[in-house]
Amino acid sequence: MSPLAKLLEAALFSSARPVPVEELAALDPEASPAAVRAALDELREAYDVNGHGIELTELGEGFQILTRPEYTEAIERAQLAVRPHRLSAASLETLAIIAYRQPIGRAEIEEIRGVNVGGVLKSLHERGLIDVVGRAEGLGRPLLYGTTPLFLEQFALRHLEELPRADELAVALRAEPRAV
């Protein structure tokens, strides 16, 4: 492996979160972003070709070293690491709406889901998956919510555009919020 690839490997190993390319490039002032990209490819290939228990993944606007799925059960049985809890259906529905419609206010989410979402919003916010991104203009200037980088990370997404586009879904999304 090239010295740069080894440096990146060490840096990614030491980080608990996905590291963006720009941050990786800062490790070596001589290295261009293109060189960092090439070194990342080299590292990924080293893991894939030589048969490693870990792999290099691009998610959450950065790169992260993750264990391979086939070892998850054994690791969890040995209690070395624990999978996070699954989100409830109510949380997932609310997240789905926010992911597609952000920035979006609570009333609009409730209109789509047909239920009160106060509690769900609070727990999603506590888990760091959503955040307040602004306030709407209308009456009472309601808070507007959006998804966070942690959302991308926990759903193994590189960016929001990776979610299926509206026209790829079986039913077409309403183009724009209904005029009241």
Partner 1 sequence: MTLLGSEPETPFVVELGQFSGPLDLLLSLIRDERVDIYDIPIARIADQFLARIRTMGLDQAADYLEMAARLLRIKAQMLLPRHDTDDAWEDPRAELVRRLLEYQQMREVVDVLERYAEDRRSRFARQYFPPSNVETPPAPLALSLAELLSAVDRVLRVVRDPAMHDVIPRALDVDGAIATIRGVLELRERARWRDVVRQGAERWEILSSLLALLELARRGELKLAQPSPFANVWIRRESPGQAA
Residue number with CB closer to partner 1 (35 or 75): 75
Tokens of 75: 């690791």
Name the segment binding partner 1 (CB under 8 A); options: 11-19, 25-33, 42-50, 131-139.
11-19
Name the segment binding partner 1 (CB under 8 A); options: 8-16, 24-32, 36-44, 137-145.
8-16
Tokens of 144: 């507007």
Contact flag: residue 108 with partner 1 (CB under 8 A): no
Nearest to 131 by CA among 99, 161, 84, 163: 99
Identify the three-state secondary structure at position 55: strand
Cα–Cα dist 97/145, whole Å: 10
- Using CB under 8 A, which of 51, 69, 118, 140 touches partner 1? 69
For the chain, list the strands marked E by DSSP. 54-59, 62-67, 104-105, 130-135, 143-147
Q: What are the residues binding partner 1 (CB under 8 A)?
A: 13-17, 55, 57, 59, 64-69, 72, 75, 81, 83-84, 86-87, 89-90, 92-93, 95-97, 99-100, 111-116, 153-157, 163-164, 166, 169-174
